[in-house]
Amino acid sequence: MAYEHKPNRFSLLKNQKRRGDTDPSYTGDGLIDLSELGLGAGQAEVWVSIWRGETQAGAIRLSGSIRAKTPKEFTEQPAKDEDFDDDIPF
């Protein structure tokens, strides 16, 4: 059974697959209660990413991103009508 988050909570784990500075230091997921934030009704599952860095003064700086867990719908692009030369000898 998968862990279920309480509303407006998330969990993070150290990113073991980190290859460089562009990959997050910590990744995880969470649950947002949209009505508590005044964004509508229901709840949204999210992915959470955190990057750990330093300021020029040497202090620890954390920055992060939150994105929807639901995959974006893929819409297939129609093929362009191009004139192809069918007389190519191969």
Nearest CA to 54 out of 64, 62, 42, 66 is that of 62
* CA separation for the pair 52, 15 (Å, rounded): 11
Q: Which of 19-23, 63-67, 79-83 has the lowest mean pLDDT?
A: 79-83
Q: What is the pLDDT of residue 87?
A: 67
Q: What is the pLDDT of residue 82?
A: 59
Report domain extents, the chain: 9-68
* CA separation for the pair 37, 23 (Å, rounded): 29
Q: Which of 17-21, 29-33, 82-86 has the lowest mean pLDDT?
A: 82-86
Q: What is the pLDDT of residue 18?
A: 94
Q: pLDDT per residue over 32-48, tens digit each? A: 999 998 888 999 999 99
Q: Which range has highest mean pLDDT (38-47, 70-79, 81-90)?
A: 38-47
